[in-house]
Amino acid sequence: MSDLSIPGVTGKYDTEKIIKALMDVKRVALDKMKDDVKEYNDLKSAWQDINRKLSTLKESTKNLYSFQNPFNEKIAVSSDEGVLLASATREAAEADREIIVRQLASADRFISGSLDRKFQVDAGTYLFKVGEKEVQIKFAGGGLKEFADTINKKSGGLLEAEVINDTKDTQVIIIQGGKTGSKNRIEFIGKSLEFGLKTGMLKEAEDKGTTISLTSIQPETWEKPLENNLFAIKDNILTLLPQAELKIPISPAVSLNENMVLELNINIKELSETDAVKILPPPGPDYPDAGTITFEGITIENEKSKVILPEWEAPPPPERIDDMNILFLGSKDKIIQLPAIDSNKQDQTIRIPIGNLAESVSSLYFRNQNTHREISITHLRIFDPTVRGDYKPVNPIAEAGDSIIIMDGITIIRDTNEIDDVIPGVTLSLQSEDTHKVDLKVKRDIDTIAESLVTFVGNYNQVITNIDILSRNNEDVIESISYFTDEEREKAKEQLGMLQGDIMLMQLRRSLQTIMMNPYKTHGDSNLRLLAQIGISSNAGQPGTSGGIDKTRLRGYLQIDEKKLEESLIKHADWVKDLFGMDTDGDFIIDSGLAYTMDSTIKPYTDTGGLISSRTNTFDTRIKAKEKDIEEYNDYLEDYEASLKKKYVTMEGLLEQLEKSSKALDNINSNNNK
């Protein structure tokens, strides 16, 4: 506004008050325009609130029928989490398993003898092997601590080293592998071997075991006669056809210590019905030659016997036999059955601890009682896995070993404690060894499904509540919402009835409520077609807690019967899944269901450029136009006020002149009268 003031006599005629009164009249129109802007902003904010809540509802709705829907979520529950933990992906099949964790996978961990604090490690290149990988450590010379630090920095995680003061005057160094599993054993080579011997970490091995050459051994009969057509040995591979069994003698017998293991590679070939056990007809009786007679130079041959044999009928094929107890160990006069092998892996290398089973091994027995499997065996050896070449650790803290579990009677060996290739979609995490069975149940994650449904219902109720507040001018709507904060309650009161009578809002509300009440096709047919059948409903008209009608139910807010919902999910989770989204024509695209329908209904409202976006854009246009009007009107008021002040300055100046002239005339008249 203009800062033009009326000097001198402003207060005398109170012209500023007159100007202010005139300006206040003019500002009425400005205040109306500002009220319009506020109203447009409030309406825009209200629609934005609806859009946000609808978008949240749409997101939770989409989650119920999309590819990542919760109905396929699985969990793996262990009866003893101190022994076994497990996690399951969506691809896991529901199953019950019994698992014994016989042995955890471990890494080599060797400790030296006590060494003087001043012990020095010579400079040079120290070579180690961890499994098939070589580790070269170039060391400039120094104490044990510097040597350990160099190993940790330069081994790429394959080795770890630590120095500990075991007494106030001595120290020990610990070297361990960075990976578990028998194939990741540490081998000391060259200067590192010298270091191991010098520090008392290694010593020369005595029992080195033996590698069994199948080609050079003559198989022997076990219980059944040895049938050459049921087995073959070629290129150091023993192949056992169905029903084959034999004995492999080991001479001289191999003495065992507690660390000894039997290692071998097994290949399993599944046979078709035609390649499995074949039953041929019997050859029939063997008749002797009929003979001849000669008389006076004439030879007469006897006629052969004629026997009419009954028509042969092949017996039914033998019942399928699955028996993975293939391996047996012979020691002196006893035969020891070894653990069953895994039938799910076609090719596998297995290692079986045998050190505590007997004092020595004099033979191995193989039996293939399977009717539909061909089994090949190679790379047989009995050895002490703690031996590193010709040396072994003196006091190993731990030795590289595989995890061993027995699942449903099948022995499974892996080089890690995180096993993800035994049960499809399930990762087993071995925690500790135990002789007792752990029950593992893979099942649907009912809690996650229920949580998703609760979230969906909550988001739906918030949308309906928001629409009720905006479309109804009744404070009872607000008072019935118990979860509102004081701030939310005040905001609701400000928005109460703001969109009363809005047709688009009313249509949206009716559409959403209709969707929630409609029946949908499922594989359960009439047994499950409605939301109410799984415990989600408004129960409108049912008695409320006060004995009358519960108005919140009449308004269409949904409630959940948690017990009924849980029962429905446990018994018919697939039907409940269909209720929210179902492929009815087999094209692998969801085309029916409550969630699918609601998502399709909400989409036109919340999309960019959709119904609500168009509505808020309209308010933006109005706000922008009104703000321009306000700006122009402010300019007008400023000019108008300046004009008024200018006029009143001129007027007061004239009045002052008139007053002065009047006084002058009075003075003249006064003087003339004297």
Domain of 257, CATH number, reads: 2.60.120.430
pLDDT greater at residue 293 or residue 269: 269
List the structure tokens of 553: 């139910």
The pLDDT tens digits of the residues spanning 596-654 come to: 999 999 999 999 999 999 999 999 999 999 989 989 988 888 888 888 888 877 777 77
Q: Return the closest-CA partner of residue 616 out of 160, 50, 3, 79.
A: 50
Query: Last residue of some domain: 204, 239, 261?
Result: 204
> What pLDDT score does 473 carry?
85
Structural domain that includes position 177: 109-204
Same domain, 196 and 218: no
Average pLDDT value over all residues in the chain? 88
On the question of pLDDT at 670 being above 80, the answer is no
> What pLDDT score does 8 carry?
44
Residue 38 within a domain: no
Residue 211 within a domain: yes
Picking from 2-6, 27-31, 240-244, 409-413, which range would have the lowest pLDDT averaged per residue? 2-6
The pLDDT tens digits of the residues spanning 432-464 come to: 999 899 999 999 999 999 999 999 999 999 999
On the question of pLDDT at 2 being above 50, the answer is no
* Burial letters 279-302, b for 16+ CB under 10 A, else e: eeeeeeeeeeeeeeeeeeeeeeee
> What pLDDT score does 12 carry?
60
* Burial letters 91-127, b for 16+ CB under 10 A, else e: ebeebebebbbbebbbbbbbbbeebeeebebeebebb
CA distance linking residue 178 with residue 196, whole number of Å:
18
Q: Tell me the torsion sign for CA atoms 100, 401, 334, 211.
A: positive
Q: Which residues, at least 6 apart from 434, have a Cβ–Cβ distance to it below 8 Å?
A: 80, 83, 100, 101
> What pLDDT score does 76 carry?
97
CA distance linking residue 47 with residue 84, whole number of Å:
52
Question: Alpha-carbon Rg of the chain, whole angstroms?
Answer: 47
CB 147 within 8 A of CB 138: no
Q: Which ranges of 345-445 does DSSP label H, i.e. alpha helix?
A: none
CB 419 within 8 A of CB 76: no
CA distance linking residue 403 with residue 388, whole number of Å:
20
On the question of pLDDT at 548 being above 50, the answer is no
Percent of the chain with pLDDT over 90: 61
> What pLDDT score does 674 carry?
59
pLDDT greater at residue 670 or residue 379: 379
Same domain, 462 and 607: yes
Picking from 55-64, 210-219, 548-557, which range would have the lowest pLDDT averaged per residue? 548-557
* Burial letters 38-62, b for 16+ CB under 10 A, else e: eebeebbbbbebbbebbbbbbebbb
- H or E stretch covering 638: helix 611-672
Same domain, 56 and 129: no
Same domain, 376 and 234: yes
Residue 76 within a domain: no
Same domain, 64 and 160: no
Same domain, 268 and 358: yes
Same domain, 170 and 277: no
Beta-carbon-side half-sphere exposure of residue 368 (alpha carbons within 13 Å):
27
Q: Is the pTM of this model over 0.85?
A: no
Same domain, 606 and 635: no
Query: Last residue of some domain: 204, 234, 261?
Result: 204
Task: Report residue 271's pLDDT band, with 50, 70 and 90 as the boundaries.
Answer: confident
> What pLDDT score does 545 carry?
39
Same domain, 59 and 124: no
Residue 428 within a domain: no
CA distance linking residue 529 with residue 526, whole number of Å:
6
- H or E stretch covering 600: helix 594-606
The total number of structural domains that make up the chain: 4
Same domain, 633 and 553: no
On the question of pLDDT at 550 being above 70, the answer is no
pLDDT greater at residue 351 or residue 265: 265
Same domain, 502 and 527: yes
Query: Last residue of some domain: 204, 233, 265?
Result: 204
Same domain, 491 and 565: yes
CB 261 within 8 A of CB 404: no
Q: Which ranges of 191-316 does DSSP label H, i.e. alpha helix?
A: 191-198
Residue 314 within a domain: no
> What pLDDT score does 518 carry?
95
The pLDDT tens digits of the residues spanning 383-427 come to: 888 887 788 899 899 989 899 999 988 888 899 999 999 999 999
Residue 88 within a domain: no
Residue 309 within a domain: no
> What pLDDT score does 1 carry?
40
> What pLDDT score does 162 carry?
97
Residue 393 within a domain: no
DSSP string, 433-476: --SS-EEEEEEE-HHHHHHHHHHHHHHHHHHHHHHHHHH---TH
